[in-house]
Amino acid sequence: MRGLFIKGERSVEIKDVDRPALDGHNDILVEVHAVAQNPPDSFSLLGSPGKPGNRLGSDYAGVVVESKSDCVKIGDRVCGMVSGNHSPHQGSFAEYLATSADLTIKIPSAMSFQCASTLGMSLFTAIQALFLKSPLALDPNHTKAVLIWGASTAIGMYAVQLAHISGIKIVATTSERNKDLISSLGAHIVFDYKDADVVEKVRESTNDNVTFAIDCVGSPETLKSTVACASDAQSATVHTVLPPAKDFKAKASSNVVFSLVHSGFAEDLSWANYLFPRPVTMEEMMQERKEAVAFFGYDRGTIPGLLRDEILKTTPIVATSKGLENILPWLLKMEKGEIRAGKVVHLLKE
């Protein structure tokens, strides 16, 4: 089969390799119809965790062509994420991929492969931040505001919807042009992150009551602003999607938590050890995986039901292209920050 591999800095090559074999962990083989791209697919072309020879890609949607699973059959339409970019063996930018049935989502019959392909890394990361790593966040008794900084990131758009579905008051930041979009997804109060007074406005509107926040961008500036919005008087959790800079100092009332979506797979994570102050243990990852399965689980988890009932919507698709050979220019556009408020999707099968 053909797959897309890192060749060097900002360059890729298509190689013919064997189809992945099924093992204990990866119990279904999927023929990939559409893939969506994420920033890690793009920055892996610049080095860590990308190395020449690594297979690219995380998100996919396709059809099961081989199965050792008791719940997923040949011919089923599935989507999700694989832990790509960091080894030659896994990556969704390929004609076939092997994955674990219980971390897939059954694609609703009315949903296209294109839309389904956006339900991978961003959705999983939003779930990890809101539910798997931060029990504080979606406690049904949690009446305080949740702040979602960078709500028009793909992660942010899923986080807003999931928090809204959970009945939580959401304060969000986004650019002026995406305010209506973010309100339509369920945010109650939306501020422009470029406004010089944005931190003061968030604090005033929430009355020092933000005890959980997600920085969905992860830059030093956005983390600083997100922490500044969190409560001074109460203890707060601030989740970030990229590791804080080594010299970053949060205020005493804020606990800053970074997690990597890949830990939910409970596979070898030693390639990512450099991102953490201490390695994540297999025991922690197994617990996280168990909780993640309750969200996915092919057709058994919460997410397939929300999609089937059209309560959870996929993110906008801002561009599509066809074929492995046309992916690189879009990864380079993503590196330059030219992809806004939506996903780029590549069709790999007619």
Ligand X SMILES: NC(=O)c1ccc[n+]([C@@H]2O[C@H](COP(=O)([O-])OP(=O)(O)OC[C@H]3O[C@@H](n4cnc5c(N)ncnc54)[C@H](OP(=O)(O)O)[C@@H]3O)[C@@H](O)[C@H]2O)c1
**150: β partners:** none
Nearest approach in angstroms of CB 182 to ligand X is: 8
- Residue ranges in contact with ligand X by CB under 6 A: 38-40, 121-122, 125, 150, 152-155, 173-175, 178, 193, 216-218, 222, 241-242, 260-261, 339-341
Nearest approach in angstroms of CB 148 to ligand X is: 10
Nearest approach in angstroms of CB 320 to ligand X is: 16
Nearer to ligand X, 64 or 260 (CB): 260
**254: β partners:** 236
Nearest approach in angstroms of CB 91 to ligand X is: 15
Cα 32 from Cα 16, distance rounded (Å)? 15
CB-based contacts of 268, cutoff 8 Å, min separation 6? none
The H or E element that residue 129 is part of is none
Nearer to ligand X, 29 or 266 (CB): 266
End-to-end alpha-carbon separation of the chain, Å? 16
Nearer to ligand X, 72 or 344 (CB): 344
Q: Taking every pair of C-alpha atoms in the chain, what is the biggest distance, in angstroms?
A: 58
Does residue 166 contact residue 136 with C-beta atoms inside 8 Å?
no
Nearest approach in angstroms of CB 263 to ligand X is: 8
Nearer to ligand X, 39 or 297 (CB): 39
Cα 189 from Cα 207, distance rounded (Å)? 13
Nearest approach in angstroms of CB 151 to ligand X is: 8
Nearer to ligand X, 17 or 320 (CB): 320
Burial of 71 (0-12, 13-18, 19+ CB in 10 A): middle
| CB-side neighbour CA atoms (13 Å) of 149 | 28
Nearer to ligand X, 72 or 121 (CB): 121
